[in-house]
Amino acid sequence: MEQRKTLKDVAREAGLSVGMASRVLGNYGYFSEESKSKVLKAAEKLSYRPDVIARGLKTRETKAIGVVVSDILTFFFTTLVRGIEDVANQNGYSVILCNSDEDPIKEREYLLALYERGVDGLIISPSQGNHSYLKKLSRSGMSLVLVDRTVRGLKVSTVLVDNEASSYEAVNYLISLGHRRIGVITGLKGVTTSKERLAGYKRALEENHISLEPELIKEGNYRREKAQEVAGDFIRMKNPPTVLFVCNEPMTSGALLALRENKVKIPEQIAIIGFDDPVWAPLTEPALTTVSQPSYSMGTLACQALLKEIKGVAHSEIPSEEIILKPKLIIRESSGKRIVENEEATRIKVPLSPPLGRGIG
């Protein structure tokens, strides 16, 4: 294997000192256009690539940022990470991506590994188990930005969406169609996004003088399989809801599987509305009404905020900021048309214990 070319090799090829070659390639200090031209031509000829790790030992920069999310398979996090990566790449940074799977132990191991790797900063959508450790990282001087979720008492920049307002708008829309028995499949207990979306649901019911029925609130833990299970429970109720409000994309796919397997007509028997607007939403039959989050923009804003921290602009001179974006309600056919008063509802006929498959892997 050919030996990796060094800065000394570039300097020798250019006929200049190592210091001059270093200034040109590092873009600092004084150098003439002639010297710049010689060094760049020599670097290209030798296929020279700077040793990022060695440079990091000198500058304390690795030009890498760590990103920790719960599940990259979801549309929300896929597009969010793409936004992060695009901004990072434009600024000469690479991204190290980790999936926590909502497991605090796994998340803690990743955070420690990223810290030991010497990443220049972290963007994280935190689980419930490492809030004190994140505060410790922040106090140590690690540049840190939260995205999608908050941590009480942690004063760092945060990029969020207005979950309560968007949930409130979605449920209000369902009420305007005539729905009164609105089933909700919530996310993971204790996670801020789940609490806020449920709060919007409750506020919409209260302001429209609709009684809150605990049997119409079920936890899906942000997982497809669990949501499929509890959607089946809704279907088998003696008086099932007329619509399901499902609080993230994987849970929406689980609820749709349950409705299909039980041959429930959408929206005639049970309507449905999802939170997140994946690319497949308009392709379902009927097309899925959703709350669309600006996940790509959240990623770009989070990375921009982190780079400010890394460069020392925000960390010492500008207070941390909380950026809150507003999702958009995308109305399609699955939420149904306005219900006519006194119209006899279509009964749902399903077996007492219908088999629920696990769905698509």
Q: Distance between CA atoms of 275 and 279, rounded to whole angstroms? A: 13
The token duo for 341 is: 């008063």
pLDDT score, position 239:
96
The token duo for 13 is: 């090829």
The token duo for 347 is: 């009964």
Q: Where do we find the tokens 């649901």?
A: 201
**SS3 for 174?**
helix
Q: Where do we find the tokens 């597009």?
A: 79
CATH for 163-292+331-335 is 3.40.50.2300
pLDDT score, position 5:
78
Tens-digit pLDDT string for the chain (361 aa): 456 678 888 889 999 988 788 778 776 667 888 988 998 998 888 888 765 445 544 446 789 999 999 999 999 999 999 999 999 999 999 999 999 999 999 999 999 889 888 899 999 999 888 888 899 888 888 899 999 999 988 999 999 999 999 999 999 999 999 999 999 999 998 899 999 999 999 999 999 999 999 999 999 999 999 999 999 999 999 999 999 999 999 999 999 999 999 999 999 999 999 999 999 999 999 999 999 999 999 999 999 999 998 887 444 555 678 999 999 999 999 999 886 554 444 444 444 334 343 333 3
The token duo for 351 is: 């077996």
**Domain 59-155+295-326 and domain 163-292+331-335 have a common topology:** yes
pLDDT score, position 50:
66
Q: Distance between CA atoms of 260 and 294, rounded to whole angstroms? A: 29
- The angle that helices 7-14 and 18-26 make with each other, rounded to 10 degrees, is 110
Exposure b/e, 339-349, CB count within 10 A at least 16 = b: beeeeeeeebe
The token duo for 162 is: 């207005």
CATH for 59-155+295-326 is 3.40.50.2300
Strand partners for 207 = none
pTM above 0.85, yes or no: no
Strand partners for 98 = 68
Of residues 277, 228, 270, 226, the one with CA closest to residue 248: 277
**Would you list the domain boundaries of the chain?**
7-50, 59-155+295-326, 163-292+331-335
The token duo for 295 is: 């996940």
Q: Distance between CA atoms of 172 and 177, rounded to whole angstroms? A: 9
Q: How would CATH label the architecture of 7-50?
A: Orthogonal Bundle (1.10)
